[in-house]
Amino acid sequence: MASDFSLATYAPRAPITGERNLNLDLQEQIPKPYLARALVAVDQSHPNGTEGRDHHNLSVLQQHVAFFDRNKDGIIYPWETYQGFRAIGCGVFLSLTAGFLINFLLGYSTQPAWIPSPLLPIYIKNIHKCKHGSDSETYDTEGRFDPAKFDAIFSKYAKTYSDALTGDELHTMLGANRNLTDFIGRAIASAEWRLLYSLAKDERGVLQREAIRGLFDGSLFELLAEKRKTE
């Protein structure tokens, strides 16, 4: 039998471990929470991922970006990124900026050849090569979804509501996730999360757990696009 301290998540001489708690009951709430899922984004309310959604045998990270592949050919061009951002409710200037910067920063890493393409394509097949630092680590380096890391977003930082983040809590999380000298990763993480907050916060000004989970598997983008169509 393990000793009491062998399973401890709090070290008295490291107060930060007490301030940022972990969910000690997660093992009982999700089967094998330590096992990163390749095809679905699971949590306590979604043990099988997003109900009724076809994963098309894509990794969760690939599903996250597939919304922006508007013609479904496995490649995302800058104009498709622009169209995707417009579809979820972003303005023209932001969408134009995103269309260029995202493809410029990420495209080359995903290309199958050494010579860069002037069209700045992002190949969904290789999107795992674009994983950046200073993030929540909910995606592993192969693009799987880690339930324990996802749950830690809330156990560590959701202090006002158990299943949502306020703007201040989001700011705290971004600061806590920073890796030393990782300026590019910090900038990307900050832009991603702040955009998510502006698009998906509820009437109380908080990001619900389901909105964040939907970001990871891309289902949130589909919901935002459908909502915009009806407005």
How far is residue 229's CA from residue 222's CA, in Å, rounded to a whole number? Answer: 11
Q: Considering the entire predicted model, what is its pTM?
A: 0.94
Q: What's the mean pLDDT when you consider all of the chain?
A: 95
What is the pLDDT, as a whole number, of residue 231? 72
103, 105, 106, 130: which is closest to 119 by C-alpha? 103
3-state secondary structure of 100: helix
| Per-residue model confidence as pLDDT tens digits over 65-85 | 999 999 999 999 999 999 999
> Distance between CA 193 and CA 144 in Å, rounded?
19
Domain ranges in the chain are: 52-130, 132-231
Q: Are 49 and 63 in contact (CB under 8 A)?
A: no
The one-digit pLDDT tens for each residue of the chain (231 residues) are 455 788 899 999 999 999 999 999 999 999 999 999 999 999 999 999 999 999 999 999 999 999 999 999 999 999 999 999 999 999 999 999 999 999 999 999 999 999 999 999 999 999 999 999 999 999 999 999 999 999 999 999 999 999 999 999 999 999 999 999 999 999 999 999 999 999 999 999 999 999 999 999 999 999 999 998 887
